[in-house]
Amino acid sequence: MAGVLEQLERAKSSGRKLLGVLIDPDLGGHAEQLERTVQNACMAKADLLLVGGSLMTTDLFDGVVARVKQLSDRPVLLFPGSATQVSGHADAMLFLSLISGRNAELLIGQHVVAAPAIRALGLETVPTGYLLVDGGRPTTASYISQTHPIPHDKPGIAAATALAGVLLGLRCIYLDTGSGALRSVDAAMVQAVRKAVDVPLIVGGGIRTREQAQTLCEAGADMLVVGTAFEEDPELIFAMSEAVHR
Ligand code: 1GP
């Protein structure tokens, strides 16, 4: 079976848009909600399940990934906030370098710590340039990462940053306003990054409506990631999946 990076690249080449559902690993303490989220994601034909976050308040990470994998017929992709979020139960991991920031720990430090375990587990990595974008208020991601998000109305900065990442060899770009952001990335920024680089483009943070989803896909996003909106309204995933896939 093709790896996750290859699946992203194939989808991009064929113009098929993907929906990723972000599972908060702290849901490990809420078994029913976790099950319902994963089941809804599978029924709605979401394409991938992502597990991870900037801050975990439990030590259940590996168990949550194992449970998600057990419940799901979709690929499970780690979206790690730190080197502690590595699990051999996943199909692959976004190996994220926070290239919009200048925090050496999140550019390369945590990667060094995690690399031996990743190799030992034989886990596929998707080398990804992660760009944090201002979404209208400080988020856990901006606070914990101790980085300045890119101003939302500066698409040129995002495009130059994404291009630098690709020139360094990164295979995927993730534009994110952070979980629970007041607004999503602007379509103009997605368009500018799309124009600058030819790798799969993931967009997340603050996506709450099918209209937003459609606009971001039309602007050039290859995959959208949604978490908070589905926690607040579990049924929304069906409409969102339809909007992304049509
Ligand atoms: C955050 O892109 C994800 O990193 C999802 O954000 O929880 O706001 O949907 P939301």
Whole-number pLDDT of residue 194? 98
Amino acid identity of residue 79, one-letter, is F
Number of the ligand 1 atom closest to the C-alpha atom of 22: 5
Q: How far is the CA of 177 from the centre of ligand 1 (A)?
A: 7
Which helix H or strand E contains 76, and what residues bound it?
strand 76-78
Averaged confidence pLDDT in the chain: 96
Please name the residue that has the structure tokens 């409409």.
239
Residue type, 229: A
Chain centroid, CA 123 distance in Å:
17
pLDDT tens-digit profile of 164-184?
999 999 999 999 999 999 999
Query: Given this model, what pLDDT does residue 32 score?
Result: 93
Q: What is the pLDDT of residue 58?
A: 84
pLDDT of residue 2: 86
Ramachandran quadrant class, 4 (left: phi over 0; alpha: psi -120 to 50; beta: rest):
alpha
Phi (first) and psi of residue 140, to 5 degrees: -55, -40
- Top pLDDT among 26 and 88 is at 88
Q: pLDDT per residue over 14-70, tens digit each? A: 999 999 999 999 887 789 999 999 999 999 999 999 999 888 888 889 999 999 999
Is the model more confident about 58 or about 107?
107
According to the model, what pLDDT value does residue 141 have? Answer: 94
The Å distance, Cα 220 to ligand 1 centre, comes to: 18
Ligand 1 atom with the shortest distance to the CA of 207: 9
Domains of the chain: 4-245 (3.20.20.390)
Give pLDDT, residue 29: 78
Higher pLDDT, 1 or 156: 156
Three-class SS of residue 214?
Answer: helix
pLDDT of residue 57: 85
What gap in Å lies between CA 53 and CA 178, rounded to an integer?
10
pLDDT score, position 1: 72
Could you write out the three-class secondary structure of 79-144? CCCCCCCCCCCCCEEEEEEECCCCCHHHHHHHHHHHHHHHHHHCCEEEEEEEEEECCCCCCHHHHH
156 CA to centre of ligand 1 in angstroms: 23
Which residue type is seen at 242? E
Instruction: Give SS3 for 54.
Output: coil
Q: 229 CA distance to ligand 1 centroid (A)?
A: 8
Answer whether residue 135 shows pLDDT above 80. Answer: yes
Task: Tell me which residue of 69, 8, 36 sits closest to 236, measured CA to CA.
Answer: 36
Q: For ligand 1, which residues put their CB under 6 angstroms from it?
A: 22, 176, 178-181, 204-207, 225-229
User: pTM value?
Assistant: 0.97
pLDDT surpasses 80 at 202: yes
Contact, 220 vs 193, CB < 8 A? Answer: yes
Collapsing DSSP to helix, strand or coil, 77 comes out as: strand
- Reply yes or no on whether the pLDDT at 130 is more than 90: yes
